[in-house]
Amino acid sequence: MESLYFLIPIAVILVGFAVKLFFWAVNNGQYDDLETEGRRILFDDDMQRAKPETKEQQEK
């Protein structure tokens, strides 16, 4: 049980880091636009390979 005396402070310090990291992310605009960024990766530039028909089917 004595280990708690230093394990808990370590946990608290880690949480402190987590908060700091979160603050950094928020202030850096990471949460400003939650919709676009996640999809950006799907719009790759090597789209020429895809067949046009697939689009038509998606439209229905």
Sites of contact with other proteins (CB under 8 A): 1, 4-5, 8-9, 11-12, 15, 18-19, 22-23, 26-27, 31-36, 39-40, 42-43, 47, 50, 52, 54-56, 58-59
Q: Residue 55 carries which DSSP code?
A: H
Residue type, 28: N
Taking a C-beta distance cutoff of 8 angstroms, is the pair 22, 28 a contact?
Answer: no
The least CB distance from residue 30 to other proteins, in Å, is: 10
Taking a C-beta distance cutoff of 8 angstroms, is the pair 56, 50 a contact?
Answer: no
The least CB distance from residue 33 to other proteins, in Å, is: 5
